[in-house]
Amino acid sequence: MRHIAIVGSGPAGYYTAEAAQKQWGDDVRVDVIDMLPVPYGLIRTGVAPDHQSIKAVSQRYEKTALTENVRFVGNVMIGRDISAKELKALYDAVVFATGAPNDRALGLPGEDLRNVFGSAAFVGWYNGHPQFADLDPDLSGRNAVVIGMGNVALDVARILSKTDSEFEGSDIVAHALDLLRNSRISTITIVGRRGPHQIMMTPKELSELMNLARASPRVDPADLPEPEEDAFLEPGVRKSVCLLRSFAAIPESERADKTIEIDFDMFASPRRFIGEGKVSALEIERTRVESGRAVGTGEAYTIPADLVVSCIGYRSSPIPDVPFDERAGRFANDGGRIESGLYCVGWARRGPTGTIGTNRPDGFSVVEKIAEDFDTGAIANVPREGRVGLDKLINERGIEVVTFRDWKKIEEAEEQAAREGAPREKFVDVEAMIRARQ
Ligand SMILES: Cc1cc2nc3c(=O)[nH]c(=O)nc-3n(C[C@H](O)[C@H](O)[C@H](O)COP(=O)(O)OP(=O)(O)OC[C@H]3O[C@@H](n4cnc5c(N)ncnc54)[C@H](O)[C@@H]3O)c2cc1C
């Protein structure tokens, strides 16, 4: 019997569990351990609440979770409740699928002013992540600034501009909906260091800005390269640039009935946040792009900023006794192998890139590495206690574990509490989740 512990129940964790089942069938026992009482990682707490069809991928993970040899062990944090060393002694292989939950800092003066947030915190707030439920951003100012040119920046800008009725069918949490309802934001500036040809936003997500009830996107035509130059772009980027061109061409008459403007400020590198206690402005240096890189021109200007959300990437959290690459912000690994018996997968392995689906081949390839290490004897062929040993530690330490069956009760309670038309009203604190399973 092979005993495998997977730390993290997001896409990477469940794809790895699925791969382990395919590889060893009945000869494997997999424990998927998560610090939260609820599974699925960023599918629940990252993917935008108005993108329910994407969140439906969790049904696939549920299939894996419900099989006999896979178990969900919720509300157990590795590195706090149980150490990595203890797990390693209990299981043949430990796979870290812990994602990249920490915001990468801009490292700019004034970053600690009030109402400046990273996207992990801000997205976690509107998605009901217990760690960020109390964020309480101040949306009473008129000017929001979103830093970054990727899809997370788009998610944030879109959520800030939607009306109540546009959230119908979403699972945005009540505390966020209440604040957004009273928001006074009228300009959302998306700031990016490079230009249209370096855009990371994908066409489907960009095109959503065209259909917002009260907001319209604006691109300065002067920022757009000559149309002939688009021919050299990769097709996805070309489509995105095409959309930016259509934003630039929206006639003023069409904007007249919109109360929110989503303004793209490209070739713009943030320099410092300005404000007393709370942020009020952002100083920016104009850039130009040379060989794909943003280079400062020395020309500076200031834009008003009552709220700032920085969407510039994430770092993984180190775990004691697990080698970590500080510079890259993820576990030190070679193709998913940290050392024999210790592996990583998903964002914890490769950093915050790719789509949900990218984590699937990752999961399968790490299971191949584990199989290789079994074959070569790099993983010692000694009997392991596996889940029996984990349960002993959990009982000794009085940890309140949430099982998959418990999660289904929590899920049912969330569905029952849903406002009309919404799929669920999420619990936003751990205690409430734990109470709901009883
Ligand atoms: C805001 C946002 C929006 C996104 N939208 C999309 C989208 O629309 N479409 C798309 O394809 N992709 C999207 N993505 C990307 C997608 O969410 C990721 O590719 C995917 O979630 C990464 O999976 P993962 O399993 O590596 O990490 P995660 O999903 O982050 O899962 C990590 C899990 O590990 C747990 N964990 C962490 N540390 C510990 C510990 N010490 N002990 C126990 N458990 C721990 C966490 O609680 C979490 O459940 C989005 C990402 C973000 C941030």
Its pTM stands at: 0.96
Cross-strand pairs, 302: 283
Tell whether the model's pLDDT for residue 398 goes beyond 90. Answer: yes
Return the pLDDT at 438.
79
Atom nearest to 51 CA in ligand 1: 8
Q: How many CB atoms lie within 10 A of CB 60?
A: 15
Tell whether the model's pLDDT for residue 180 goes beyond 90. Answer: yes
Mean pLDDT calculated for residue range 12-27: 97
Indicate the top mutation candidate among 33, 98, 104, 404 to test ligand 1's pocket, ranked by most ligand atoms within 8 A of CB: 98
Indicate the top mutation candidate among 38, 43, 47 to test ligand 1's pocket, ranked by most ligand atoms within 8 A of CB: 47
Q: If you compute the radius of gyration of the chain from its CA atoms, what whole number of angstroms results?
A: 23
Return the pLDDT at 437.
86
Cross-strand pairs, 272: 283
Q: What is the pLDDT of residues 342-374, one digit of tens each?
A: 999 999 999 999 999 999 999 999 999 999 999
CA of 385 to the centre of ligand 1 (A): 29
Cα 183 from Cα 281, distance rounded (Å): 18
Q: What is the pLDDT of residues 122-171, one digit of tens each?
A: 999 999 999 999 999 999 999 999 999 999 999 999 999 999 999 999 99
Atom nearest to 80 CA in ligand 1: 41
Cα 244 from Cα 290, distance rounded (Å): 21
Mean pLDDT calculated for residue range 388-413: 97
Atom nearest to 36 CA in ligand 1: 47
Mean pLDDT calculated for residue range 214-218: 98
The token pair that represents 369 in the structure block: 């590495």
Q: Which residues contact 319 (CB under 8 A, 6 or more apart)?
A: 78, 79, 84, 96, 98
CA of 104 to the centre of ligand 1 (A): 15
Mean pLDDT calculated for residue range 26-41: 97
Cα 10 from Cα 65, distance rounded (Å): 12
Return the pLDDT at 281.
98
Cα torsion 124, 127, 129, 134: sign? positive
CA of 34 to the centre of ligand 1 (A): 12
Of 404, 436, 431, 386, residue with least CA distance to 74: 404
Return the pLDDT at 245.
98
Of 163, 174, 176, 204, residue with least CA distance to 54: 204
Mean pLDDT calculated for residue range 216-239: 95
Mean pLDDT calculated for residue range 89-116: 97
Cα 231 from Cα 368, distance rounded (Å): 40
CA of 348 to the centre of ligand 1 (A): 9
Q: What is the pLDDT of residues 274-306, one digit of tens each?
A: 999 999 999 999 999 999 899 999 999 999 999
Tell whether the model's pLDDT for residue 435 goes beyond 90. Answer: yes
Mean of the per-residue pLDDT values of the chain: 97
- Ligand 1 neighbour 430 (Cβ under 6 A): no
CA of 401 to the centre of ligand 1 (A): 21
CA of 151 to the centre of ligand 1 (A): 14
Of 270, 307, 9, 25, residue with least CA distance to 157: 307
In order, the DSSP letters of 371-409 are HHHHHHTSS------THHHHHHHHHHTT---B-HHHHHH
Share of the chain above pLDDT 70, in %: 100
Atom nearest to 100 CA in ligand 1: 30
